Amino acid sequence: MVSNAELKKYLHRLIQNHSSSMLQPSDIAEHEDFVSQIHHVSLSQSRPLYDLVTLSGWYTNTEQLRGYFYAGFSIPRCYAWISPFSSGTMCKMHSHNSIELTYIIEGRLSIQIEEEALSFNQGEFVLINSDIMHGEYLYKEDCTLICLDIDDSFFTRHMESRGEEDYTQSLKKLINEKRSQYLYIRFSPAGNAPQTTAILTLLLQEMSANLPGKKHLSIGAVERVIDLLTKEFHTQVARQDTADLHQALFEDIQSYIRRHHSTVTVQQIGTAFHFSPDYLNRIFRKQIGLTLSAYIQDVRLSEAMKLLHTTDLSVENIAAQIGYQNQGFFYKKFKEKYHVLPGDFRKLERKARL
């Protein structure tokens, strides 16, 4: 897997290879102006999106040099430059008619979003909704990041799609709802996010090389990045929305358990959702009064009841199929829930049909 350090090196190398010379005019330090010059459009505070997805990446360092990289589908080649800047400079306040999704590879990003001065740290994503005024600060420190400008319809379409193996549909729906209510959403890494850095590296490779299949591969990579927002990151919402976040997480875990009821463990759930079992137990107790372990038992026993009713499988086979290796334990739990042994239930149920 690709690390943040390797992703940083790759982006810096791209900038070095594609920048022809040091640019001096101070206004070129504002990357929105530079992009506008590429497209020969008049400068304004509103930045239009020229592709379904465009990618930019930049860095600042202690030498007060800024490197910048830009690529898009309809642009025949990528662009890059290196320019000096004054520490503390803020890029001109601007907005996009697209969603801006920024990943901080290294250091921290200081940014003004409307009236809020904010800081985002290494490994975090920040999603800024369309038409939100913002401007980045440039400081005499090492900072590297990648920005994806994504068409709003593209983002919504992916968030509302339902993959068969996708176990974070409720979280995605929540993100899609909340992003229209707030200026930004913060995503904090749940771990090292190795898949995310690998996909971002692939995206840089595809967007910087004008090769066949570039558009399709790049769109696929962006879809994967959006998917990983709920797989390798924790969504940070406002305090008043904590209950909504817990509800979405609860629904996704319910779906995950139902899909994997025969093999799932509490530890596996904690790993899949990047939360401690204790934290998830508190959510489940609050929602339905059961621990995760008790809910897994409940789902398995409900599945056993269904199989007893709809199949001729032996009780022993049913117990094994729903995840009980210890038949005695299965009998005990079944009787605790239904007040009858599974074999006796089947006899009573068949007798009632006659």
Q: Using alpha carbons only, what angle is made at residue 114 by residues 68 and 130, rounded to the nearest 5 degrees?
A: 65
Q: Is the pTM of this model over 0.95?
A: no
Contact (Cβ atoms closer than 8 angstroms) between residue 65 and residue 82: yes
Contact (Cβ atoms closer than 8 angstroms) between residue 73 and residue 52: yes
Domains of the chain in sequence order: 4-228 (2.60.120.280), 241-354 (1.10.10.60)
| Exposure b/e, 270-297, CB count within 10 A at least 16 = b | bebbebebeebbebbeebeeebbeebbb
Residue 264's Cα: distance from chain center in Å?
A: 23
CA distance 69 to 297: 53
Residue 338 DSSP SS3? helix
CA-nearest of 112, 119, 128, 132 to 45 is 132
CA distance 225 to 286: 32
CA distance 214 to 205: 9
Q: What is the pLDDT along the chain (354 residues), one digit of tens a residue?
A: 789 999 999 999 999 998 876 655 454 544 445 555 444 333 345 545 556 888 999 999 999 999 999 888 777 678 888 988 899 999 889 888 889 999 999 999 999 999 999 999 999 999 998 889 999 999 999 999 999 998 887 777 776 666 666 788 888 888 888 887 888 999 999 988 889 999 999 999 998 887 888 888 888 899 899 889 989 999 987 777 889 999 999 999 999 999 999 999 999 999 999 999 999 999 999 999 999 999 999 999 999 999 998 898 999 999 999 999 898 999 999 999 999 999 888 888 777 665
211 to 11, 77, 205, 206, 297: CA distances (angstroms): 19, 11, 10, 8, 52
CA-nearest of 349, 243, 229 to 287 is 243
CA distance 157 to 305: 38
pLDDT at 34: 52
Residue 74 DSSP SS3? coil
DSSP 164: T
